[in-house]
Every structure is written in structure tokens, then in C-alpha cells.
Structure 1
């Protein structure tokens, strides 16, 4: 009996430490959301520059089909407060329904430098990489901003993003010394990157829902609270790369210098480098970010802007399939410890083991502790949601807090069953095609 008592006490101490760590991350994510996003957006120094002095940026919008709110999302990149940029709309099929929307947007904004690239080339299983290959090669500028089709951005986002990219970069000193010069930054960007420079700027997604289905509401609750909170916390600690590919700006030269992380491609006599080297992975955004971080030693930065993600009418099953897909991809691309610890970072399971540990160590009321834990967790999540949405008021329908709380509760209850279902298989479905995720993180198409 004494041994059991000592074992349970040691277990309680371990779980209590874990509980404190998870809460520390939650508070860090909440604090980051409050300090970075709740204040007024500051103007970029780039906005006042003449086009001859500003670093040029190529915006690439990879498209496939009629994504939700496509016209407004594409239009947002035509109304940027930035003196020198071009927009490339990338498709792989001339019969793609998105093409008609693209042409309407271009016709409305003839003053913006735009191009449509249609190329059906295929370098690997990842359709997004296939769609990006030609735009990467034909972009006029070294700085590339890749934005997903469902994402809308604010007018000042690009300027602040370039500011963040140049903040500690080795080539920023010459730019700062003579802002009025006509020297193009692309010349400096060809220099090898310096360890510690910024190699990627990304934005936290903020979900907007017009069609209120339960699946879309639950997805919105996930993205605007738990996901955002942990995403901001991990990036604030800067212990490792943590990046989503919805809105990323980086240097083409840096991407071109990356070696492929694919064991399959490395076994070839002449393995591809650069963007093509990431084509075997469905989570190419994560792999590219890891390459910039570990291979080139380049940091990642974020701005006070959010990437507005317009969700379609999702069913609950659609939501579950999304989460399952990325759990199965993630479990092959991250250390096994990170995969196994994931459920312990969620509110309900965290509250259960935290309440038990506190009761075992300090002798307290477990039910009361769990209730207080859940209430504070919810209040923190609601605060994160308000902070992220502070500068995008008026976009989307008026929010209903009670409805949001119900969706939030549904998300929390579904978390553990979804995780358990996700880890039992390595097969995923993405855009109607089936893939199997290998131990290397690579994907193999099952329908071919």
C-alpha cells in the first residue's frame, strides 16, 4: 500500500508539472494575442516609399475550383497599400471554374500588375506544389507571398510583412541607409542568408463564417481559440518551427537553396532541390518552414495582421475529416512524444488529470477544481477570439457568443475521439483523392 501511495504521489507530481506547463503556454498564447492583435494596426514604412525604392513582391494565389468567398479573397490582394507588387493567379486547368472569377477581378483592377499562369505540370503528389512550380520560376521578384485561395488580407498587411522580413535580415542595412535610393533589394537577396535572419513571415488564421453550419462553427471555434492560442504560444517561445501555409512570405533564393527532406528523392542520382524537393509531402508548408529553420538557420516572424480564412458550409463530418487528416499527417512528421502528448494539452483531459493531481498533492475538491479550470479556459479562449478579431470588425455576420460557446464545447468534447480515430490509420483523403502517409512523412497516392 505504501508503494502504491508513493507511486501515485510521484505520478501526481509529474502531472501537476505538465498541467502547469500547459497553462503557461495557454497564458502565453493569450497574452500574445492581447498585446499583438488587440491594439491599433501601425502603418508600414513601406507605404510611403516610391515604387523605385521599395522591394518588389510577387503575390501568388494557387487556385483550384470555386473556393468559398473566392472573389472577395482575390480582390483583397488587388487593394494593398504597397507601392510595388504583382499578382500571379496560378491554375492547372484552363477549364477550372476559378478562372472566370480571376478574370472578373483583373478586369476591375487594370492598374494592378497581374498574370494568369495555367500549367498542368506535375512534380509530385502535392497539388499545391505542382501549381506553384511555374509561378515560382516566372515571378518578377525574389520576395514571394503565397496566399491560399480562401484567405483575405487587409490593405496594410503586405507592408508590415515586408517590414518584419527585413527587420533583422543581413541585406536590410543597405536598404535602411538609403530608403530613397533606386537600388533594388533583389540584388541583395541573392547573397547567402545569414544565420539568425528572418527567412519567413506568416500570419495566424482567423476564421470567418457566413454559412452557419455546425461543422463550420466548430471549425471556427477551433481556429479562433485553441489553435490560435497554441500557435501564438509556440511561435512566441521560438523553440522550433510552427507554421501554417495559408499566408507565407519568403525569399525565392532561400527556398531554391533548400535540399529535399524526402528519403525517396534523396536516393535518386540527381535529387531535386528547392520547391520541387517538397512535392512528396502534403504538409509542404511545415516542411519548407522546417528547412528554413534548421538547414539555413533562418527565424520566422509574425505581424499584427491576421489571415482571414472564409470557411464554407462544413458538416460535422467534414470537420472531423479535416482534423483526422492533419493528425495522420502530423504523426508522421513530428516526434512521437509530441503526438502522444497532444491530447494532454486539451481542456477536458487537462482538467481531469490536473484536478486529480492537485487533489492528490494538496487535498482539494476535484469537481470544483475541474469546473473552475474549464471556466477559466473558456474565458481565456473568448479573450483570444476577441483580440484576434479586434481589427477586422465588420467582416462577417455579427457573432453570437452563446452559439460560439456551444460550438466551442462541441469542439472540446470531440477532441479526444478525433485524436484516437486519427492515430489508428495513416490513410487520408484530400480534395477527393486518397493518400497514405509513410513513416518519412511522404504521401503516396492510392488512387493511381
Structure 2
């Protein structure tokens, strides 16, 4: 065997191992989707407790502008099967168009404990953190459920999330004794958590689109297939924190105890702690999850509920900008090897590498193998999509399989070009402003002429 043959042989083994790992993750994600989401969600016994016995929860909805399907998404928080919660609608501008929608909802549900907080404070570049500062400070309860404006959910979601956070087996007879032994029964007190406790409950996004633009259909295909199965698989393995901030339940006292992961803030004489400690990061959800995981050694958990994400109208250019933005953020927050291996998780590039390696080692037709690979990959993705949508039928408009497959194909074809484009820069547009992502993962506003641009 010549040197060239040896190199190709070793390369083939390497690629085949990666290919096998990727397929293993995909099948784990498929299994979790089938086992966790395809059956009917059982109600939690928390939903039937008297108000005096249930742990209180503060729901915070940070708002900015008229997001798609805003009324229906916000209304979901007013119809929960849970005895004790409040809803805070958080805005940063009294002229925000979302305020009228909020007032209409509050008028429709006067019996729900709800209020509006308008707060224009700025503690950093992240507008969501800025918006959450006062609601965090004024929340009635220690348990906080922070939900993005575009997210809707079924009425039983909160009770199941709280039961999971407390670690109680809400489906068996030991539930009452478990609940009584949990440290989170008083409204504003909490015993120090123990390593291995659940510190965050989150939900996998399931995208729906009411206005079927090309970009929104492609984004929907991404979220309901590739993103979902990898998200479920990584969380099932529990190797490290992997969360999105669409729907997160955690303890305020836990967040308050966190120190900042920001190198720039740690240089200050009095570095911020708590929520403000994450203000320099665009991906504050991921950083909070990492801090809970590593600093407090708290696990993350999921329930059999999804966060129904109501997508707005997106052009294909909008989709590309959104995907490249988060790739640029992610490449600064994860080890370089993980970033470089990301293309192997994509169907076309990863499939070509895997089928070439199989052909090189065992001898077979690459085109035939690749075709089988693509059919199998699509089959897995369609199954994941179907399982996730089992319990949320009627919460979004129906979509034919042919249309979905068309959007899926466009997404798969664009995956590598978008990835390569994202690698070529470190600046992103975010809510109309331009930011540079530095190695620590922090975002620095480069629109220096703007009054809210921060200097670092």
C-alpha cells in the first residue's frame, strides 16, 4: 500500500467514525422524539393543588414590537392549568406597539394576576437582559418562567415543568410527600441547591408559520428537523448544557448567585452577578445554562411539551442572515474542533463524506449509497417533525408534506454555503444594530454613532 493509499485509508476510517457518530445522534434524537412527544401528555397533579399549597411561578414575557401571532402567543399564558402564577409583560418603551395587544389581553382576562412593567434601563448590549432586569427584581415568586414573545404552549405545560424542576414524580402516589420535601415551597425563599438537582427546565422549539414566505418555511424545516433531533440527542446524553432561551424555567435565587463569565466584566472592581452578569452576551440563554451547569452543577431537564414558535414572515435573505448570525456567535463560544465538525452533521456534506468512506473501505457505488443515505435522512427528519407536532395540532396552520420537503431540500442545499459564509466574518446584525463577536462570545456594538453603543 502506497503512502497515498495509506492516507486515504486513514481518512476513510476517520470520516466513517464521524459519520457513525452523527447517525447515532440522529437516531437518539428520533428515539427521544418518539418516546417523549408522540404520546398524550399526562396532566400533572400540581394542576389540581389548592392555591395555598402550590409553588408560585412568575411568568415573564419580554416584548419588543408586534411579533407574528402575538395575541395568540401571549394569550397562552392566561389559560394555564396551574393554581398560582402571575404574568409580567415586560417592555422597554411606552410607545411599543405590543403594549396595545397586552392591554387587550389583560382586559380579556381580568381574573389572571398580570401586570405591565416598562423599564428603559440598559445594563449591556443584550436588549432581552435589559428588558428582564426590573421584572426579575419585582417578581413575586422565586420560580421564573421566561418565555419569548413568539412562543405559545398547551395549558398543562407549566405544571409539568414545575414538577420536573422540583424533581417530583407527579404520576405516582409518592408525589405529595416528594412535594412537601422540596426546598421551593415558600414564595420568595429557597434552600441552597445540591449538585445534581435540576436547575433549569426548557422546551424544544416546534415552529409553525402562518404566513408562508420562503424564508419562514426554510426556517421551519430547520427547527423541526435538524435542530430538533440534535437538540434532543445532546440533552438526552447530558454531556453539557445545550439550551435555547425560547422557554426556560429556573430559580431567581440560583440566577442571582451566578458570577459573570465575561472576561471584560471580571476586570471591573465590582463585577456584576446575577442576570446583569450576562448582559454582554448575545446568546445569554446559552451562557446562563452553562453557568448553572458548571458553576452550580445543576442539571437541565425537559418535559414532553414543546415551545410552539410562531415564525414571522422571513425572506430567504433573512433566513441566511439569521443562521449565519448564530453560527458566528457559536463559533466564538465553543471549542474550535466542535465548530469544524459541524458540517459533518449536515445531510449533503456529511453524507458525501460518509458514503465515500464506506466505498473506500468496503467497496460500493458512492452515488447509490448517497441516495440511500439521503432517503434515510429525510425519513428520520419527517418522523421527528411528526412526533413533535403530535400534541399541538390546531396550534398552527397545517402544512402539506410536499411543501415541507421542498423547504427541507432548500435548507439542506444552503447549509454548507451558509456555514462557509458565516466563518468568513465576526460581525452580525441584531435588531437593526451591528455587533462584533469577540473570542469570549461577547457582543460589542460597532455602531459607535448610536447613543446606546457601548465601548469596551
TM-score (norm 2): 0.95
Distance change (3 Å), C-alpha of 1:178 and 1:243: closer
Query: Any unmatched runs of 5+ in structure 1?
Result: none
CA–CA distance in structure 2, aligned partners of residues 16 and 157 of structure 1:
41
| Rounded Cα–Cα distance in structure 2 between residues aligned with 1:184 and 1:41 | 24
Question: Aligned equivalents of 2:361 and 2:180: distance in 1?
Answer: 64
Q: Which residue of 1 aligns with 2:392?
A: 392
Query: Structure 1 residues 10, 122: CA separation in 2 closer, same or farther (over 3 Å shift)?
Result: same
User: 1:185 maps to what in 2?
Assistant: 185
SS at match of 2:421: helix
1:395 deviates by 2.2
Quote the residue 1:74 is aligned against: 74
Task: Give the equivalent residue in structure 1 for 2:146.
Answer: 146
RMSD of Structure 2 on Structure 1 (CA): 1.7
Conservation of the 8 A alpha-carbon contact between 2:140 and 2:187: no
Give, in whole Å, the separation in 2 of the partners of 1:304 and 1:160. 8
Partner of 1:248: 248
* Residues 382-413 of structure 1 deviation map (CA, whole Å, 9 limit, x = unaligned): 00000000111122222110110010000000
Residue deviations 1:154-207 (CA, integer Å, cap 9, x gap): 1000000001101179xxxx98428689x9713795211100000000000000
1:283-339 CA distances to partner (integer Å, 9 max, x unpaired)?
000000000000000000000000000011110000000001101111111111111
**TM-score of the superposed pair, with normalisation by structure 1:** 0.97
Q: Is the 8 A contact 1:70 1:149 kept in 2?
A: yes
Q: 1:412 to 1:7 in 2, by over 3 A?
A: same
Q: Give secondary structure in 1 for the equivalent of 2:78.
A: coil
Residues 157-172 of structure 1 aligned to structure 2 (within 5 Å): 157-167=157-167
Match of 2:223 in 1: 223
SS in 2 for 1:89: strand
Contact 1:87-1:113 within 8 A present in 2 as well: yes
Give the SS at the match of 1:227.
Answer: helix
What's 2:444 paired with?
Answer: 444
Distance in 2, Cα, partners of 1:46 & 1:106: 25
1:307 is aligned to: 307
Note if contact 1:123-1:130 (Cα within 8 Å) is conserved in structure 2: yes
Classify 1:35/1:270 alpha carbon distance in 2 versus 1 (closer, same or farther; 3 Å). same
String of CA shifts for 1:50-108, please: whole Å, max 9, x gaps: 00000000000000000110000000000000000000000010111000000000000
What count of residue pairs does the alignment treat as equivalent?
A: 444
Specify the alignment match of 1:279 in structure 2. 279
Q: Which residue number corresponds to residue 27 of structure 1?
A: 27
Q: Which residue does 1:426 correspond to in 2?
A: 426
Q: Structure 1 residues 403 and 129 mapped into 2: Cα distance closer, same or farther (>3 Å)? A: same
SS of 2:93's partner is: coil
Gaps of 5+ in 2: 448-452
Aligned match of 2:380: 380
3-state DSSP class of the match of 2:317?
A: helix
Rounded to whole Å, the distance in 2 between the matches of 1:294 and 1:50 is: 36
Mapped pair 1:18 → 2:26: no
Partner of 1:8: 8
**Counterpart-to-counterpart distance in 1, 2:180 and 2:280:** 43
Tell me the residue number matched to 1:116. Answer: 116
Task: Give the ranges of 4+ consecutive aligned residues of structure 1 lying more than 2 Å apart after TM superposition.
Answer: 174-181, 186-190
Distance 1:14 1:443, change over 3 A: same
**3-state SS of 2:375 partner:** helix
**CA distance in 2 between partners of 1:104 and 1:188 (Å):** 30
Partner residue, 1:354: 354
Tell me the residue number matched to 1:339: 339
CA-CA distance at 1:365 after TM superposition: 0.9
SS of 1:186's partner is: coil
Name the residue aligned to 1:195: 195
Assess if the C-alpha contact under 8 Å between 1:93 and 1:119 holds in 2.
Answer: yes
